Structure 1
Amino acid sequence: MFPAVLLVLLLVSGFAPALLSSVEAASAPAKMKSGTVYVIPLDQKIESGLEKFLVRGFKEAKDQGAALIVLEVNTPGGRVDNAENIGQLIAGSPIPTVAFIQGNAASAGSYIALHADKIAMRPDSAIGAAALVDASGQTVDSPKEIAYWKSKMSAAADLQRRNPRIAEGMVDSSITVEMPEINRTKEKGQIISLSSSEALKVGYADTLADTTEEVIQWMGYSGEDTFRVERTLAENVAIFLTNPFVMTALLFLGIAGVVIELLVPGFGVPGILGVVAFGLYFFGNYIAGFAGLETGVLFVIGLVLLALELFIPSFGILGILGSACLIAGVVRAAYDTQDALTSLGIAFLAALVVIVIVVWIFKERGIWNRFILRDELTSDKGYSSIRERIDLLGLEGTSLTPLRPAGTAVIGGERIDVVTEGGFIKADMPLKVIKVEGTRVVVAEI
């Protein structure tokens, strides 16, 4: 028996280190991955300025060899074309990307989130409601546009093996979508919007987290080497200035200010305001990367040609060329040609109303007054179309013809048409000028 016990003890002692090592390995925390994590906020309306910012953020992450990108998503949506470009940016990035939905990933925001490799959501967040709306907020009911956007959403969902039918239900209210995971059916007339718990159950979220740090750790990184991409002052200004409403307002102020200054000179303020507004318009689009210096030069040439049209007769040629340069400069500076033309049209009509009102109020100061002769040659200013012979008053002369009572007399060696006060004076009679009334010279016999 003793040899058997000894054998067991030897076996146990031989395997003990291995067993202990296995237990320690199982109880030890998983080893964190090494690498820099880039955190990029996506927390505003989707438009051209945001797209430019994200392009810079992804480029910096790639240049610095980042191991992970976390997008902090909280957006009501925005422009579809910008969302498509951002989606392609995320899908084409060699760096793994996590979309951490902190508030809402609505409309085009859900399209962007679906392109990420992983989706994390805060417990009180939501994703979906991606119906197309126009600039006024009204739902677009064009079957062609809905079909296009539905196919884009479906493809984005399928990219990461998510149920594409749910993505279609976020866009199209005319379809029915079964979601047995959450015991819910999307009926016709409804648009799908998922809470965080619902998204997790149907596969539209991969985890729930309260903070970005939790998301980073969930992805296997300690978060010690984390870099947050912040917007520069210029980018913040560009985002504001490239907003369609702000662009329209700047164009309105620019057109109204410059034209009022040209037509009703002397104030200075409208001209300065107009130039500053146009400068901000081109500056915003330049910083956002949509405009080059040539667009500003083209616009200045247009202003100069319009100003020359006011002073140099050209039968409208300078005016047409100037207008063409102005429109070309404004349109080329903007990201979207159609939006630029719409903004320009609205701004022009609004400015025209203001210009007409201002010109009417200050019509006496208008530039057209320089081409109108307004001096009056009145008698109180020393002007008269009739020569008054005041110089004859008191002079003596001789009647050249009989005065009955009018006739001709020689006064101071000059033949003058004269009249008497009613009496008759023979020819060759001496007389004296006693009154001058305009051209009427009254004489009396001496």
Structure 2
Amino acid sequence: MSSTWPTIRRVRLLFSLLCLIMAMTMFISTPATTSAQSYQKAVWIPVDNTIERGLESFLRRAFADAEKLQADLVILHINTPGGEVGAAENIGQLIRQSPLHTIAYIDNQAFSAGTYIALNANEIVMTPGSTIGAATPIDMAGNAADIKFISGWSEQMKAAAKLNNRNPDVARAMVEIDNEFPGLKPKGTVLSLDAHRAKELGYADQVVAGKDQLLAHLGVSSDTLEAIEPTGGELVARWVTSPVIMSLLLVIGLVGIVVELFAPGFGVAGTISLVSFGLYFFGHYLAGFANWLHIGLFVIGILLMILEIFLPGGIVGAIGFISIVTGLVMAAYDTKQGLASLGVAALVTAIVAFLLIKRYGVKGLFNRFILGDAQHNEEGYVAPKDQRDLLGKTGIALTALRPAGVVKVDGNRVDAVSVGGFIASGTTVTVVQVEGTRVVVAEQEQKE
């Protein structure tokens, strides 16, 4: 028994060493994170500035292009203060439904709607000094949205967090101001996380020093990484489809029309108005929200409003107004937003019109359509010049008469009309009839 005991101990020791060697081999060969898998093709897509419908349109195109390139990895470079909730919801759905592995890379900030977009990605990678959170929705005045809207948004943030097994209470703490979350935030504040705190709470899968370390972490070569950037048209679309800019363009367009009505001829105000409406439709068309039907409705409406000047009665003008409103609202990405922006523009335009009428009077609005001269009683009746002495005299046609033109009789220029057809310039004419200010001439017959 005693002779076999050392042998058993040796066997156990060898077995333990073998297990330790196998464990160390497995540890060395196993990737540190799930991101270290091999990717064949990676694309880099910027998600910067304010989140709006133009960005949504660009990202739809970018993801489609990534699939055409047969990419299997999408890196979203997120740097945004937030933006429109509706656009963020659609972008989140786009990411979830994409078959491509998506990484949200945050090297500065991903607040509000940007946080929601990041939570829909498969992984979140941050750099030291970057932040994520502060996702309470606010209205256009900068105040927190109503409790009903906040509650709904909080649920969406929770759902996005659960996609990758992140703590949903952290997502709620980023949204709900009036609730306390022990260990996360006190009541009356919203939660924001720096990179290291986000890593601790599971809201960052990796913290890297920068882009180079990110690519090394992913096993992607910078030489093979392909960037998909927005086109010039898409940049314009992003700018135009911002709710603030959209409303501003409509204000400028409508105010320009009103100002133009008070100014003779077509000038600066009319040009600015056309440029504003052109940008409005151009941006929404490139973003995929407007089409030629909407543009056509607007143009027809403008033409009908002009026609109303010559065909008074109100019906043509009313149809034109409805056509303009329909075209503008239908071209917007959202009917409610379109009506809201148009309502703001109409209110500002009404105020400007009131001030102009108060300054110049109603007459200023129609001075281009009515006779400007008036006969004043104190001036007495001014009779037209008696030209009966011209009857029978001859002269020369200074201009061609078609049938109206100018002739020279007794050294004076006289407005005249021909008896019948065309009389060429330089032809000798005879005054054959005078009725008040109307002088009628005929081509002088040549004697044989």
Q: CA-to-partner distance for each residue in 1:385-409, whole Å, 9 max, x for gaps?
A: xxxxxxxxxxxxxxxxxxxxxxxxx
Partner of 1:15: none
Separation in 2, partners of 1:140, 1:75: 20
Separation in 1, partners of 2:118, 2:316: 51
Give the letter aligned to residue 267 of structure 2.
Answer: G
Partner of 1:342: 340
Q: State the secondary structure of the residue aligned to 1:189.
A: coil
- Of 312, 320, 323 in structure 2, the residue corresponding to residue 322 of structure 1 is 320
Instruction: Report matched runs for 1:243-262 at 5 Å.
Output: 243-262=242-261
Q: CA deviation at 1:373?
A: 7.8
Is the Cα contact below 8 Å between 1:264 and 1:359 reproduced in 2? no
Q: State the secondary structure of the residue aligned to 1:221.
A: coil
Is the Cα contact below 8 Å between 1:262 and 1:307 reproduced in 2? no
Between 266-275 and 106-115, report the one with greater CA deviation: 266-275
Separation in 1, partners of 2:374, 2:180: 81
Q: CA deviation at 1:378?
A: 5.5
Distance 1:219 1:351, change over 3 A: same
Q: CA-to-partner distance for each residue in 1:143-188, whole Å, 9 max, x for gaps?
A: x21221111000000000111111111111233334xxxxx34232
Separation in 2, partners of 1:324, 1:263: 23
Q: CA deviation at 1:194?
A: 1.0
Q: State the secondary structure of the residue aligned to 1:194.
A: strand
Is the Cα contact below 8 Å between 2:258 and 2:349 reproduced in 1? no
Distance 1:263 1:35, change over 3 A: same
- How many residue pairs align between the two structures? 356
Separation in 1, partners of 2:190, 2:369: 65
Is the Cα contact below 8 Å between 2:357 and 2:365 reproduced in 1? yes
Q: CA-to-partner distance for each residue in 1:208-255, whole Å, 9 max, x for gaps?
A: 112223222212323331001111111111111222222222111211
Q: State the secondary structure of the residue aligned to 1:70.
A: strand
Gaps of 5+ in 1: 1-18, 179-183, 385-446
Give the letter aligned to residue 194 of structure 2.
Answer: S
Is it true that 1:146 corresponds to 2:150 in the alignment? Answer: yes
Q: State the secondary structure of the residue aligned to 1:130.
A: coil
Q: CA deviation at 1:367?
A: 2.2
Instruction: Report matched runs for 1:16-415 at 5 Å.
Output: 33-142=38-147, 144-178=148-182, 184-262=183-261, 264-314=263-313, 316-363=314-361, 365-368=364-367, 370-371=369-370, 374-376=373-375, 383=382
Give the letter aligned to residue 283 of structure 1.
Answer: F
Distance 1:378 1:291, change over 3 A: same
Q: CA deviation at 1:295?
A: 0.8
Is the Cα contact below 8 Å between 2:39 and 2:73 reproduced in 1? no
Partner of 1:388: none
Q: State the secondary structure of the residue aligned to 1:114.
A: helix
Distance 1:185 1:268, change over 3 A: closer
Percent identity between the aligned chains? 41
Separation in 2, partners of 1:366, 1:26: 83
Separation in 2, partners of 1:373, 1:103: 64
Gaps of 5+ in 2: 1-20, 384-448
Separation in 2, partners of 1:206, 1:360: 64
Separation in 2, partners of 1:255, 1:350: 9
What CA RMSD, in Å, does the superposition of the two structures yield over aligned residues? 2.7
Is the Cα contact below 8 Å between 1:170 and 1:192 reproduced in 2? yes
Q: CA-to-partner distance for each residue in 1:91-149, whole Å, 9 max, x for gaps?
A: 1111111101111111111111011111100100111111121111101232x212211
Distance 1:84 1:34, change over 3 A: closer
Instruction: Specify the structure having the higher radius of gyration (Cα).
Output: 1
Is the Cα contact below 8 Å between 2:184 and 2:191 reproduced in 1? no
Separation in 1, partners of 2:76, 2:262: 52
Q: CA deviation at 1:195?
A: 1.1
Is the Cα contact below 8 Å between 1:72 and 1:100 reproduced in 2? yes
Q: What is the TM-score of this pair, normalised by structure 2?
A: 0.74
Separation in 2, partners of 1:215, 1:369: 67
Give the letter aligned to residue 326 of structure 1.
Answer: I
Give the letter aligned to residue 344 of structure 1.
Answer: L
Give the letter aligned to residue 290 of structure 2.
Answer: A
Q: What is the TM-score of this pair, normalised by structure 1?
A: 0.74
Q: CA deviation at 1:365?
A: 5.0
Q: State the secondary structure of the residue aligned to 2:120.
A: coil
Q: CA deviation at 1:361?
A: 4.3
Separation in 2, partners of 1:373, 1:263: 14
Separation in 1, partners of 2:266, 2:355: 16
Q: State the secondary structure of the residue aligned to 1:177.
A: coil
Separation in 1, partners of 2:367, 2:295: 29
Is the Cα contact below 8 Å between 1:377 and 1:383 reproduced in 2? no
Q: CA deviation at 1:382?
A: 5.2
Distance 1:219 1:377, change over 3 A: closer
Q: CA deviation at 1:362?
A: 4.6
